[in-house]
């Protein structure tokens, strides 16, 4: 039986007329009248994402990969439509000094400071889970992560960090390598298969060493000695089984399969910066900060070629596939590998290309970063990173793409995480 609601409107006292009357029938058993679809159980996407990350074997490099191309494999996209944008999901201030890049594994973002501290920031709640101080060590360069195993290098030592399988998740470390007296670890770490590569340098004798540690063979060491008088790159670029080092007026090449060592001489003046990357079987490098050259990995010739790319001042390189992104003193450019200009962004400020994936490229301008949409170049979002309670902040030293997030680190220890799921409300 239906129930009935009766609504009567008040009488009009002036006209003394009867009020109108509205009757509504309400059915008790609604399902008799309406077909109701079954309720689907809610999917906890955040929990699923957490599990997928924890189950992952993460590799982490300086500049994103062994190729030094700043490319991160990720599905992160530029938000579509005016209703969506990037949002700052986490903000953390660590009072310390950082000159290197953020590393990551499946549980932590790893930061190492010039004060001898190594921080382990929980990637899910963004809290500092561990802080390890290693006396008499200064961390200036970037280590690497091999399938979640963490290697961090100071100017004198390389440490491996491990986590105890306890409820406290205590982290301990071992020194797997220590440099000889008067030698310093000069470069960021890089990796080829089970090999860890780095450069050592003695400023007094001018002797340099390309060192190769075999992690699968009791950390045995292979080394190549050479002289470096004026300039030695702070990184080793690896591509197609070849390791490349920029040294004075030479490109040093080590075949990591045969351990053959050779060099390619470049015209004077020699190198003055470490802007180089490997892409499409070619090592691209900025010899004089104005022109981009390349060496083909498929050629045994002692020669290099001009890419057709010439700019006022090259300060950074990044890329993937057929695309090369070049940062300059007054903006940034996108080229194809054949030197064809695809897009040019002019700016009154210096732009550094920091990282990219297939959908976006991140540009850094001091304490500001700009995310450009690679599907529509004109589309971009910018964010300024600053300390709480103070307007100014130090420069950004690192931006990485981690799964579907952006991680930003400044020199004075502000670290932030950004997601692309912000919902804009327009009033």
| pLDDT tens digits along 327-378 | 999 999 999 999 999 999 999 999 999 999 999 999 999 999 999 999 999 8
Region 270-287 average pLDDT:
93
Burial (0-12, 13-18, 19+ Cβ within 10 Å), 312: exposed
Break the chain into its structural domains and give their ranges: 3-32, 72-101+309-427
Amino acid 317: pLDDT: 97
Nearest residue to 161 (alpha-carbon basis) of 137, 136, 188, 130? 130
Amino acid 281: pLDDT: 93
Burial (0-12, 13-18, 19+ Cβ within 10 Å), 404: middle
How far is the C-alpha of 250 from the C-alpha of 232, rounded, in Å?
10
pTM score above 0.95: no
Amino acid 82: pLDDT: 81
Q: Give the distance from CA 375 to its chain's centroid.
A: 20
How far is the C-alpha of 108 from the C-alpha of 127, rounded, in Å?
10
Architecture of domain 72-101+309-427 in CATH?
7 Propeller (2.130)
Cα three-residue angle 45-400-48, rounded to 5 degrees: 15
Amino acid 16: pLDDT: 46
Amino acid 298: pLDDT: 77
Instruction: Give long-range contacts, CB 8 A cutoff, 24+ apart: 84-87.
Output: 84/420, 84/421, 84/422, 84/423, 84/424, 85/381, 85/420, 85/422, 85/424, 86/371, 86/381, 86/383, 86/406, 86/418, 86/419, 86/420, 86/422, 87/418, 87/419, 87/420, 87/421, 87/422
How far is the C-alpha of 152 from the C-alpha of 158, rounded, in Å?
6
pLDDT (tens digit per residue) in 237-249: 999 999 999 999 9
Region 212-222 average pLDDT:
94
Amino acid 392: pLDDT: 64
Amino acid 20: pLDDT: 53
* Weakest-pLDDT range from 4-13, 133-142, 181-190, 418-427: 4-13
Instruction: Give long-range contacts, CB 8 A cutoff, 24+ apart: 77-82.
Output: 77/359, 77/360, 77/420, 78/359, 78/360, 78/371, 78/372, 78/373, 78/374, 78/375, 78/376, 78/379, 78/381, 78/420, 79/381, 79/420, 79/421, 79/422, 82/424, 82/426
């Amino acid at each position: 039986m239906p129930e009935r609601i009766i609504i009567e409107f008040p009488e009009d006292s002036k006209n003394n007329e009867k009020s109108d009357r509205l009757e509504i029938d309400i059915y008790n058993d609604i399902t008799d009248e309406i077909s109701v679809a079954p309720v689907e159980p809610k999917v906890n996407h955040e929990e699923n994402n957490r599990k997928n990350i924890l189950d992952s074997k993460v590799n982490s490099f300086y500049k994103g990969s062994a190729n030094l191309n700043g490319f991160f494999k990720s599905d992160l996209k530029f938000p579509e439509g005016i209703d969506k944008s990037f949002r700052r999901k986490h903000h953390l201030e660590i009072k310390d000094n950082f000159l290197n890049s953020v590393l990551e594994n499946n549980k932590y973002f790893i930061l190492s400071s010039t004060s001898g501290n190594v921080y382990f920031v929980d990637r899910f709640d963004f809290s500092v889970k561990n802080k390890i101080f290693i006396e008499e060590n200064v961390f200036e360069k970037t280590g690497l992560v091999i399938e979640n195993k963490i290697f961090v290098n100071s100017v004198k030592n390389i440490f491996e960090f491990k986590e105890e399988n306890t409820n406290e998740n205590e982290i301990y470390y071992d020194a797997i390598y220590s440099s000889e007296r008067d030698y310093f670890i000069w470069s960021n770490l890089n990796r080829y298969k089970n090999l860890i590569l780095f450069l050592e340098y003695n400023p007094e004798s001018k002797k340099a060493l390309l060192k190769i540690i075999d992690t699968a063979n009791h950390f045995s060491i292979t080394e190549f000695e050479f002289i470096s008088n004026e300039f030695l790159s702070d990184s080793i670029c690896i591509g197609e089984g070849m390791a490349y080092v920029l040294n004075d007026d030479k490109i040093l090449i080590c075949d990591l399969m045969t351990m053959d060592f050779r060099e390619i001489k470049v015209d004077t003046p020699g190198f003055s910066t470490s802007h180089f990357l490997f892409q499409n079987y070619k090592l691209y490098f900025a010899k004089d900060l104005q022109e981009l050259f390349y060496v083909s990995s498929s050629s045994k010739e002692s020669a290099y070629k001009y890419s057709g790319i010439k700019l006022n001042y090259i300060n950074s390189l990044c890329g993937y596939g057929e695309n090369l992104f070049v940062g300059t003193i007054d903006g940034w450019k996108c080229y194809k590998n054949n030197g064809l200009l695809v897009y040019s962004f002019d700016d009154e400020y210096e732009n550094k290309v920091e990282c990219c994936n297939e959908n976006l490229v991140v540009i850094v301008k001091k304490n500001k970063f700009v995310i450009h949409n690679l599907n529509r170049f004109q589309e971009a979002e910018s964010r300024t990173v600053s300390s709480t309670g103070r307007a100014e902040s130090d420069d950004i030293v690192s931006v990485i793409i981690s799964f579907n997030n952006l991680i930003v680190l400044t020199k004075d220890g502000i670290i932030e995480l950004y997601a692309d799921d912000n919902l804009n409300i327009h009033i």
